[in-house]
Structures are given as structure tokens and as C-alpha cells.
A = this chain, B = another copy of it.
Amino acid sequence: METVLSYLKNNFNRFVDEFCEYLRFPSVSAQKEHKEDTAKCADWIANHCKNIGLDARVYKTNNHPIVIANTPFKDNKPRIIIYGHYDVQPPEPLELWASPPFSPRIADGKVYARGASDNKGQHLAHIKAVEAYLKSNVELPCNITFLIEGEEEVGSAELLKFLKENKKMLKCDVVMASDNGIPGLDYPGLTYALRGVAAMEIKVYGPSRDLHSGIYGGAVDNPAMVLCQILARLRDKNGKINIPGFYDDVRKLTSVERKSLARIPFNEREFKRFLVVPKLFGERGYSPIEQRTARPTIEINGITSGYQGEGSKTIIPSVASAKLTFRLVPDQDKDKILDIVFKHIKKICPPTVRIELIKGHSGDPYILNPDSPLCKAALTALKKAFNREPVLLREGGSIPIITDIKRILGVDTILAGLALPDDNAHSPNEKFDLRCFEIGMKISAILLQELGCALKK
């Protein structure tokens, strides 16, 4: 292990250069104009894997390609799939970035770029750990397959198909993923639950074209007002989602869980200052950490209607629409939730407009028993890497594919996140701390060994 860790230390500067090269691809999966950039990014990471001694291949899909890279397989060893995604969130609004999102900038030991933390930096740390084993000729404790997809930010639809069609090729003992976070560099953590997500769009159609608000205003409904009145009714003043049946399947937090979550460091004042909000807001009766990780939410991600340019335009807009996401918790079911939501919105929509409800990408929540041998092995590795006791975490974000992996491949996933709370994932000025990059490689190297042992037993 010392040889492996030395290799990581000695080559760190080169790794940072490679990381920056990887970040230069604007691999925005949601935007058609970046289709080619996304493909080029997949080729780059596949070639990178080949160069360090992996057998890598790019699989074409109906949308963005999937990269598979294997270490030289030994028959008697357990197999681990390490999951990551090379696609990134749209960088907009561009004017809020201190430096261009696809021109990585290093400052104060951090790399600023879209995708730095979510997720290029995190899976590259694992690749570097494997490189260290291979290049320093230390035998790998397990067979490893990197599975790096290009659609995590848009719902992983093609990966889902790929898993179904390649069940045999992907047979493994456990999946490992780092696409989430820890409370701080002083708080190594293992995530045992993820929230799910259910996305939708609502379109409210009024008159067939924008109308002069003076000539027609007063006798015809305003689709933007109707949309506001519908959305306003979906969340009450206590932060509770106001949709009948929405909470029916929510698994209650046990008192053990609530105590464990309460151990995670949290300073409300600092958090408020970090977000720059005058006051926090969340579901009454739960702590901010519980609200963010163990309780479902409704969010308006975007809303649009009428004239948004300079000056004013005195119209009744013809149409108004909003993008919504619900974060879900165990044991909510994404499809059931969208059915409930659609039914309720249709019920409260007035007869003066026509509405259209469109399902978006979604994924079920995930939970892994914190007492399982896999969790124990991961906790041991974290303890060794950080030299301190790790905490158990729930993650507020969603990685829908983790549930799909469980359902299709029948295996659990170890979630060893490396992101820090201030990484600005999905926001302007996303960054990844180089200490996270470094310690991530170390965790990966040790964790591979621990899992190798745990799985052999």
C-alpha cells in the first residue's frame, strides 16, 4: 500500500494537469449544441483509461456514449464496478462565473470549472488510484470496471437500457460511486441513503396569442396568474407539500437515525451566511439537515411566461410554464408521486385555461442498511484514510441510477462522496478542492483493498 500511496503523491501535479484537460470539454448533456463536445469528452476519458493500462471501450447509445474500462481480470477476485459520469450541468447563467466555466482556473488550492466536483474530479480520483496500483506493479485486490456515463444530469435513460441489455457483462459484487459529499475535510462520511427525484413540467395555455392587456384585460384569464395560483397551492406556509397522499409512503426517521444525523456538524448562522439568505425556511418539525436529506421537497426550478426583455410590454401572455422537481425519500415511488401530483394539479386547475403536464426524468430514493458488511468495510477504509471516525450520512441529492443498479444488477452501492458543501455543484463557480482530489485517491486505494477483503470472506 505504501508503494501505491507514494505513486499517488509523486505524480499529483501531473494528475492536476490531466484533471484540467478533462474539464475543458463542455460536456453539457442537456444541450443539443454540445452533443459533439460530449462525445469528444467520452473519447478522451476512454483514451486516458487505455493509457494507464485499462481495456477501455466507448459504447454508442441513442444519446450520449457510455465508457467501460476494465483492469486485466483475474478469475479468483471479486469484481467492483466504479461508477461516474462525465456529463455536466448547463453552466448558465454565464455572467455569474468569475472565470469561464470550461477554462479551469486554479486558485487557493481549488480548481474552478463546471464539472470539477460534479463529477469529473470525483471519478478521476478513483481512476488515479487504480493507475497507482497498475503503474507501481502492486497487485489489485479486486477486478475493477469503470462505468462512466454521459447522462447523469438528464436522467441516465441510456445507461438504464445499457444495464438491462448487459446484465451479464456487468455482473459484479458491489458498485462504488463518488457523486456526493462530506460535511468537511475533517468529517469523513459514508452515505447510506439518497433522495430520489421526480421532474415535471406544467404548461398553462390561455388565449391563442398574447393579448393587449388594456383591450382584453378583465374578461379573460391570465395564464401566468393561473400558473402562480396553482403552484402557490402546492406548498403550505409550514413548508409542507400540500398534495393529498404525498407523504403516505415516507419512511419515518428512527430515533437512532435522528441522533446520528444530529452529530453532523451544522452551524445555522454560517449556513445562512454561506447561502446569503435572510432566513432559512423548511418543513416545520425537522432540523435543516433532516429537511435537506431525509424529507421530500417541492422546488420550482424555472418558470417562464410573457415578456421578459427590457422595458415593459402590456400583454396578457398566451402561455405560462414551469419546471418542477420533487425530491423523494424512502419509500416513495417516483411514478406514484407524479401520478398523485398530476391528479391534484388537474383537480385544482380552473376551467378558464388548458393545461399540459409533462413527466421529466426521475429516479427512486435509495437506502442501504448501515449495519451491512459492505458499509462496515467502507467505514474502516475511511477511518484508515482520514485517521478519524467517519460519520454516517444521508444525501439530499439524487443518483437515480443507484436504485436502478440495485434493481437490475442486484448489488448495493458504496457511496463515498468527496464533494464539499461549498463546491457550488449545479451553480456558477463550481469548484473542487485539490485536497479532496488527493484524499479521494487515497480513500479509493485503501477502500479497494478493504472491499477486496470483505468480499472474499
For A401-437 the 0/1 string (1 means CB < 8 A from B) is 0000000000000000000010011111100000000
- Contact, CB under 8 Å: B89 / A278: no
For A60-100 the 0/1 string (1 means CB < 8 A from B) is 00000000000000000000000000000110110010000
A405 to chain B, nearest CB (A): 18
A298 to B316, CA, bound (A): 10
- Contact, CB under 8 Å: B300 / A224: yes
Which residues of the partner chain B approach A6 to less than 8 Å between Cβ atoms?
A: none
Given the known A-B contacts A212-B426, A217-B327, A323-B306, are A299 and B316 also in contact in the complex, defined by CB atoms under 8 Å?
yes
Q: Cβ of A16 < 8 Å from any Cβ of B?
A: no
Q: Cβ of A305 < 8 Å from any Cβ of B?
A: yes
A341 to B224, CA, bound (A): 19
Give the most central of A229, A302, A421: most B CB within 10 Å.
Answer: A302
Q: Cβ of A313 < 8 Å from any Cβ of B?
A: yes
A307 to B325, CA, bound (A): 12
Q: Cβ of A209 < 8 Å from any Cβ of B?
A: yes
Which partner residue on chain B sits nearest A194 by CB separation?
A: B214
Q: Cβ of A154 < 8 Å from any Cβ of B?
A: yes
A265 to chain B, nearest CB (A): 15
Which residues of the partner chain B approach A279 to less than 8 Å between Cβ atoms?
A: 221, 350-352
- Contact, CB under 8 Å: A301 / B427: no
- Contact, CB under 8 Å: A214 / B31: no
Given the known A-B contacts A235-B225, A279-B351, are A30 and B310 also in contact in the complex, defined by CB atoms under 8 Å?
yes
Within 8 A of B (CB), among A176-222: 181, 195, 197, 199, 206-222
Which partner residue on chain B sits nearest A421 by CB separation?
A: B215
- Partner among B305, B315, B396, B424 whose Cβ is within 8 Å of the Cβ of A427: B315
- Stretch of A330-338, A353-361, A371-379, A384-392 on the interface side: A353-361
Which residues of the partner chain B approach A228 to less than 8 Å between Cβ atoms?
A: 227-229, 231-232, 300, 303
Which residues of the partner chain B approach A256 to less than 8 Å between Cβ atoms?
A: none
Q: Cβ of A288 < 8 Å from any Cβ of B?
A: yes
A391 to chain B, nearest CB (A): 16
A330 to chain B, nearest CB (A): 15
Which residues of the partner chain B approach A361 to less than 8 Å between Cβ atoms?
A: 312
Within 8 A of B (CB), among A320-350: 320, 322-323, 325, 327, 350
A306 to B211, CA, bound (A): 25
A353 to B272, CA, bound (A): 12
Q: Cβ of A314 < 8 Å from any Cβ of B?
A: yes
A280 to B313, CA, bound (A): 22
- Contact, CB under 8 Å: B199 / A295: no
- Contact, CB under 8 Å: B154 / A327: no
- Contact, CB under 8 Å: A427 / B227: no
Which residues of the partner chain B approach A396 to less than 8 Å between Cβ atoms?
A: 214-218
Which residues of the partner chain B approach A282 to less than 8 Å between Cβ atoms?
A: 218-220
Q: Cβ of A317 < 8 Å from any Cβ of B?
A: yes
- Contact, CB under 8 Å: A327 / B220: no
Which residues of the partner chain B approach A195 to less than 8 Å between Cβ atoms?
A: 214
Within 8 A of B (CB), among A252-281: 271, 275-281
8 contacts between A and B (CB under 8 A): A214-B327, A215-B426, A218-B297, A219-B282, A219-B292, A300-B305, A301-B313, A302-B313
8 nearest A-B residue pairs (beta carbon): A214-B397, A30-B311, A302-B306, A232-B232, A208-B276, A221-B281, A218-B291, A224-B300
